[in-house]
Chain A
Amino acid sequence: MESKVILETRGITKDFPGVRALDSVTFQLRKGEVLGLVGENGAGKSTLMKIFSGAYPAPTYEGEIFVEGKRCNFLGPKDSQKAGVAIIYQELNLIPELTVAENIFLAREPAFGKTGIIDRKQLFKKTKDLLDLLTIPIPPQEQIKNLSIGKQQMVEIAKALSYQARILILDEPTSALTEQEVESLFKMINSLRSRGVSMIYISHKLDEIFKITDRVTVIRDGKTVASKPTSEMSRQELVSLMVGRNIEDMYPKQAARISDVILEVKDLFVDHPFLVGEKVVKEVSFKVRRGEILGVSGLMGSGRSELVTSIFGAFPADCAGEIYVEGKRVEIGSPYEAINHGLGLVTEDRKLFGLILGMQVGENITLSCLERVSWRQIIKRKRENEVISRYIDTLKIKTHSPETIVNTLSGGNQQKVVIAKWLAINPKVLLLDEPTRGVDVAAKVEIYQLMNKLAGEGIGIVMVSSDLPEVVSMSDRILVMHEGRMVKELQRNEATQEKIMFYATGGR
């Protein structure tokens, strides 16, 4: 059954200074389908979506857009909104202090005549009707800041649909969601699909693509390289289409020689950041050996991130427990002390906690090891530059120069800069919190290879990850966390995604 094409492009070409971001892209979205849009970071997905949303207005690119067969010129976001196109971005655009209803009807609140005074009764009623129609169980009076990210996203989707959107673009919608929230999002997508809403689903998570989409379009280097039903596509094929070469093994795990214990944690407790008396990490003990990759898995809120960040001394006042590095008891009261004991932490959110976005690539790399390249206070440029070029080379960071502002790099390369910063301190133990989040496939594989290499050099690695295939494939041993406790330890040969999920959701 071939359904009608609702959104179509012909020969879209978009140039940036020195780069052709899109090269004569043809793209079709059919009515009532969920189309997966995949491609590496920098392939041109975002650029295409910005053209659909009117963020790049009509005359700045070549080519034509048709909505339901009618040629459209989107001169700005208003035009594309009118044509029924809505985008849900990774970063949500809601105002935290306002209620759900106020957010949904922002700038078009029902008012008493022309007075401009908001008719709150009407506002809440209209919102309730809308949310009921979509079966979203959120009270209209609730403030946005009290909602989880997953619920906020639903509000954003409801808002888009209240504008009569017929084409919904979801940009990495699950990147900050828990497993349950992903489930409810998928339920919602399914119900929207049956209602005839067409959706473009952008994601790096191939499992999700296979689970929820009807068709997949692959973009590579600004060109559409394939577009066919998801059921006719294998994972291998999809990956090789994305990267333009065969990645035989996405997870190139190599066993390193595992020797003596390098980091030991005993009875670690971490206080809840807001709730007095509550703990987010409860009585966790574990050991990491040289050359070992220890995976830490668990749902959002299981305390997996808090575990590594507190070992690193990020919130010393809130944690209790004993830490041993190379068998010696150490007190870590700040990240600075952690670094001195040979610990490095690649944080979960590189934009918030990992990088100084406005600074140069090189300056970011040497930020944690400046003492080593300085004489007293004075930075020795020659030594600093040696360190910078060494790590740009080892990690194959794609940057115009070391002086490039790090913000302009692609996600994968930014992540490599964060990792480079921690390698530059010559760590004994590397704590990685979601090391491949928001990173494209090719860069992911490079990061895995790097982890192998580091393990081979005798570094102990603790990898916190919500990406189950990654945890299962790259770890030597896996700790599963549930509600702050370590509930299970799995060896490499016995670990499966299902088992991890079983224990992570509280199974015994």
Chain B
Amino acid sequence: MKNQGKDNLRQVLIRKYGNLIGLVFLIVLTTILTNGLFFTQRNLINVLRQVSVNGILAVGMTLVIIIGGIDLSVGSVVALTGVIVALSQPLGTIPAVILTLLAGAFIGGWNGFFVTKFRIPSFIITLGMMTIARGLALVFSKGQAISGLNDSFLAISESYIPPAVSMAVFIFICLAAAAVALRERKSSAYGRKVFAVDIISVLNVLLIAAAVVILVWLIGFRGMPMGVAVFLTIAFLGAYTLNQTRFGRYIYAIGGNEEASRLSGINVKSVKFLTFLIMGALAAVSGMVLAARLNSGVPTSGVMFELDAIASVVIGGTSLSGGYGSVGGSIIGAFIIGTLNNGMQLLHIDPFYQEIAKGIIIIGAVLMDRKKK
């Protein structure tokens, strides 16, 4: 039995931290190869901002994939919503943002409607929407990038929350999270004391502490970039929804066994519809953050973003067949891809080769995932 405990511990470690270990390895490697250029405040902030656009999509994609679907339209929706928000700037920043969010939600809802009402596979529906949205973006913008956005809109991505404020907010969040975690441990149904679990919780604390130290160091530079704050907030909300709400539980259940879920009294159609709708709205958020960063709505932006988002989710250990996965994993996946992109840029690797390298890494990550299962 003792032996078994050890075995379990190793398995649990690899299963839970496999992709995180990969990320740390990648960061160390990139830092060494770039003579430390990668691990500077300026560059890391840059990485964070790059990751934010894809990360927001990855959060939504996690929900969609866990429920057993896929959304291929998000890249095009990023472009379309970028164009919409740029065109609607004259209305004022807040109306423009609301309008764009509604547009994204509408597209997501459209996808969800066809998936649930006509039982068409989401792969097909969103593939269609991918080209429809891209076409609309080109039509609305007449094929031109639309620049000259309101300064107040650009703040969505480009402004910084001052160091002092972000530090305060950050500390508050850490304390709140710790309180929630402690309460959960206490109320666990069977107060089991298993060796492995204790090591895991120590590790968790260490990892979180490391992340906190790095973030504090980064925030200390110029404060928290607004785009990153938006991403982190969405990631937190996504994880919270999946783990702590009925809606989240139903997403796992439907992905695991749709028919059994229906017979358990879950309104499968509305949960699915809502999941796609949320994905659409998040694509709009991502599109706006990107537009603010580019200072224009670009109809040709966002190409292949859906693949980066899906890759992040899959690298993060979420099963493409549904029913299993986590937002945390997807975020690690997004950081792996972000680190890879940034590292290769810093190393001046030919962009053509970058694509090849990325593809290999994605396949490798999924292979590793298979092996450990």
Contact = CB atoms under 8 A, between A and B. Distances in A.
Interface in A372-430: 374, 377-379, 381-382, 385-386, 388-389, 401-402, 421
**Main SS of the interface on chain B?**
helix
Pick from A335, A339, A385 the residue with the most CB of B within 10 Å.
A335
Contacts of A371: 246
Contact of B265 (A336, A356, A401): A336
Interface in B251-265: 252-253, 256-257, 259-265
B196 to A, nearest CB: 12
A477 to B, nearest CB: 26
Contacts of B253: 356, 359, 363, 367
A357 interface: yes
B305 interface: no
A402 B246 contact: no
Interface string B235-268: 0000000001111011011001101111111110
Given A334-B267, A335-B265, A371-B246, A353 B259 contact: yes
A358 B187 contact: no
Q: How large is the interface on A (under 10, 10 to 19, 20 to 34, 35 or more residues)?
A: 35 or more
A378 B264 contact: no
B255 to A, nearest CB: 8
A350 to B, nearest CB: 9
Contacts of A338: 265
A378 B242 CA distance: 10
Interface in A296-351: 312, 314, 334-336, 338-339, 345, 347
B256 A357 contact: yes
A314 B260 contact: no
Contacts of B259: 352-353
Contacts of B1: 18
B343 interface: no
A370 B262 CA distance: 14
Contacts of A336: 265-267
A389 B262 CA distance: 24
B264 A382 contact: no
Given A374-B246, A377-B247, A379-B245, A358 B324 contact: yes
Contacts of A378: 244-246
Contacts of B261: 356, 367
A178 interface: no
A222 interface: no
Pick from B7, B184, B264 the residue with the most CB of A within 10 Å.
B264
B338 interface: no
A359 B267 contact: no
Contacts of A386: 189
A354 interface: yes
Contact of A18 (B4, B245, B249): B4
Contacts of B252: 356, 359, 363
A379 B189 contact: no
A381 B253 CA distance: 17
A269 B256 CA distance: 32
Interface string B1-41: 10110010000000000000000000000000000000000
A363 B192 contact: no
Given A335-B264, A353-B263, A370 B257 contact: no
Nearest to B322: A358
B246 A401 contact: no
Given A368-B265, A379-B249, A401 B190 contact: yes
Given A17-B4, A356-B323, A378-B244, A385 B188 contact: yes
A370 B256 contact: no
Interface in B342-372: none
Nearest to B189: A385
B313 to A, nearest CB: 17
A377 B245 contact: yes
B151 to A, nearest CB: 37
Q: Which 3 A-B pairs have the closest CB atoms?
A: A385-B189, A356-B256, A339-B265
Given A345-B263, A379-B245, 8 more contacts: A335-B262, A355-B260, A356-B260, A356-B323, A378-B245, A389-B190, A401-B190, A402-B190
